[in-house]
Structure 1
Amino acid sequence: MTQDRRNGVLAGLFYIVAAATSIIAVLCYDPVLSDKWYLAVIDGRKTEVLVGVLNDLLLILSAVGTAVMLFPYLRRWNEHLALGYLCFRFMEAVFIAIGAVSILGLVQLSIHYEANGAADQANLLELGYLLQGFHRWTSMLGPNLMLGVNTTLYSYLLFRTRQVPRPLATFGMATAVLVFAAGLLEMFGAFGPYSAGKGLLALPVGVYEMSLAVWLIAKGFRSLD
């Protein structure tokens, strides 16, 4: 197996890991993103939430991994656009990391909730709802808006460099517009963070990433020589 083929396989695996960990994280965060988040630790669901944080960390690593693996192949056509993609992908990872920190903050508040009096509990509730809002905004800015921008850039560069079939890259650019639009609509209150409408708009980008992953694993990158 050539180095370019191995790089393609590794990039494809990173995309698959990113998709799987993002879904697991969302499912595991339910105890601290519900209205009764303060009962998460009392109900014995702390470990579940921490598993979600661990998956977010794996998501960050895999997102950065895709950027690092793609960059040498994308820069051949336009290094400035490739650097732009790299920066926006890193920004997406940073927003995800900040969101994970807000989840850890909710866990910590839940730990202290039962041990405090009514007055302190009221303050903890305010802080908790603030952290929930914080997580919602970081989730919108990272996996929606930043994802839309960086997906547009790398799909366009894949189109120009012909590293993947042009119809696949074109599909990627279209899905990038949809996931960006989903973030904007949530920002202005048209969609909730987990609404069916937002899910329908964001779903195609997941289909694209899995299709890209399969192609890269099967075919690898074209040689840089």
Structure 2
Amino acid sequence: MNHSKKAAKIVGVLFILATVSSIIGVLLYDPILKDPNYLITGFEHKNQVILGALCELVLVCSAVGTSIMLFPFIKKHSESLALGYVCFRLLEAVIITVGIVSVLSLLTLSQEFVEAATPHATSFQTAGTLLKAVHDWTFLLGPNFMLGINTLMCSYLLYQSKLVPRPIAVMGLAGATLILLAAVLEMFGIILQLSTWGAVLAIPVASYEMILAVWLIVKGFNVSAIASTSIKT
């Protein structure tokens, strides 16, 4: 049982680490994603942008880590769904990584613009717009759409297995549904991702992850649920 407690604490820490690193990463990207003069300010804040990319790499590793650490426990209820959770978590991480590459490519573009003797502004602006669009779409598809799908799978398995209190799992199911709805509405341009409605629809899944993380760190998995599953197996 000590192994299950240790694994639960690691999962909880990884969930918190993923959330914190994602927030810090987004804030550090401001000079190159939010500033109208990003072709100049991006390179001027090169180290800050690179630090933001490193934070998102921490997010990627943490996200994949949660699924790997949870897999041995949730597969006992449904191995196919548990494997699906790992795969979709990995797909979410891949999409986020594509977004990181787009930001770093934008940083290179900014450097080329600053160092060019007579830069062709229109060409640089067009390339920059495309790279920013890639980041925006990956930011929508990864942390929103794919997050919703893998959270649905994980929450359902946690609900059925009773590894954590069912109200927490229900909160995850509700949060996943809302973030999926947000992703669809954002794809059709009905709401903006960085808007009041976008935040309202994203808060439940973020709250679920933090509550789940704290529960796993403090209480761990339900020992009786693990024992019951082992006996059945």
C-alpha separation between the residues in 2 aligned to 1:204 and 1:190? Answer: 20
CA distance in 1, matches of 2:169, 2:71: 16
CA contact (8 A) 2:103 2:131 kept: yes
Write out per-residue CA displacement over residues 18-49 of structure 1, whole angstroms, 9 at most, x where no aligned residue: 0100100110111111232112245x311111
Q: Which residue type is aligned with residue 195 of structure 2? A: S
TM-superposed CA distance for 1:218, in Å, is 1.1
Q: Report the count of equivalent residues.
A: 224
Task: Write the distance in 2 (CA, Å) between the matches of 1:74 and 1:33.
Answer: 39
Cα contact 1:186–1:193 (8 A) shared by 2: yes
Q: Distance in 1 between matches of 2:219 and 2:110?
A: 48
Pick which of 185-194 and 159-168 moved more.
Answer: 185-194
Alignment RMSD (CA, Å): 1.4
Does 89-98 or 31-40 show the bigger shift?
31-40
| In structure 2, C-alpha distance between the alignment counterparts of 1:202 and 1:57, rounded to whole Å | 21
Unaligned 5+ segments in structure 2 are none
Please state whether the residue corresponding to 2:190 is helix, strand or coil. Answer: coil
CA distance in 1, matches of 2:102, 2:30: 14
| Alignment partner, residue 61 of structure 1 | 61
Higher relative contact order (CA 8 A, sep 6+): 1
Question: Who is 1:208 aligned against?
Answer: 208
- Measured in 1, the distance between the counterparts of 2:85 and 2:133 equals 28
Q: Give the corresponding residue for 1:188.
A: 188
Shift in Å, 1:120: 2.5
Matches of 2:141 and 2:128, distance apart in 1: 20
Query: What is the correspondence of 1:54-93 to structure 2 with a 5 Å cutoff?
Result: 54-93=54-93
Q: Which residue of 1 aligns with 2:37?
A: 36
Q: Decide whether the 8 Å contact of 1:67 with 1:89 is kept in 2.
A: yes
2:42 and 2:32 map into 1 onto residues whose CA distance is 9
Kept after mapping to 2: 8 A contact 1:136/1:193? no
Q: TM-score, normalised by structure 1?
A: 0.95
1:57 positional shift: 0.4
